[in-house]
Structure 1
Amino acid sequence: MDFMNTIGGALNTLGKNQNIPFDKLFTSDFMTKYTNVNTLEELLKKCNIANVDEIEKHLDLLNGKIQQFTKFSSWKEMLDAATKDFLKNKATNLFK
């Protein structure tokens, strides 16, 4: 398989609106690099949010805590950064 087919296939797979589990996005490396907590669960606990299914319901509260405990200004910004890191790592691993 040539380089362009490999890249095209990987991007096609990643671009199919796959649901990436939060534990794959918010790795310990990501959380250590960008936040003052070790895990997403720890961040949610500081917000009195029981689990990831409750995030949308408590978005305003979470956004305030995101500013307090992370290098991001909002949940969306943090989620976007985690997604970019995940995709970058996936692309890098294609060539190992």
Structure 2
Amino acid sequence: MDDLDKLMSDLDRMSKNAEKLDGDHEFSFEDLFTNDFLNKYTSFKTTDDLLSAIPVDNAKSFDDFDKPVVDEIINKNSQFSSFTEMRDEAVEFYALNGLSNGTSFDIH
């Protein structure tokens, strides 16, 4: 397969991936805050490390977080100033990974 064929194949795959991402989706904490994301943007190595640092009873609901306390933890342990900023970047990271899945494009 030559370079043009590979590019066309990757673009076709990305188009199919985009169709899967289209519409409304619900994401779990673990879906968004993967080890790859955490290692790239924070001092946390795993999702468990992040959850251990955040004083919440139920990590499945982002709205249940004590925002000032969590924002302070995120600010000290990442390049983000707030949990909301980190969450927004995690959604973008998730979408870009979803688009490039199965292609030769690497967003890490």
Q: Secondary structure at the match of 1:52?
A: coil
Q: Which amino acid aligns with 2:90?
A: A
Query: Are the structure 2 counterparts of residues 70 and 83 from structure 1 closer, same or farther at C-alpha, using a change threshold of 3 Å?
Result: same
Mapped partners of 2:92, 2:30: distance in 1: 14
- Does residue 15 of structure 1 match 2:16? no
Q: Deviations over 1:53-86 (max 9, x none)?
A: 3542312211111101111111111111111111
> Which has the greater radius of gyration?
2
Q: TM-score if structure 1 supplies the norm length?
A: 0.75
* Gaps in structure 1 of 5+ consecutive residues: none
Aligned residues: 94
Moved over 6 A (4+): none
- Aligned-residue sequence identity (percent) comes to 26
Shift of 1:51: 3.3
* Gaps in structure 2 of 5+ consecutive residues: 1-10
Partner of 2:77: 69
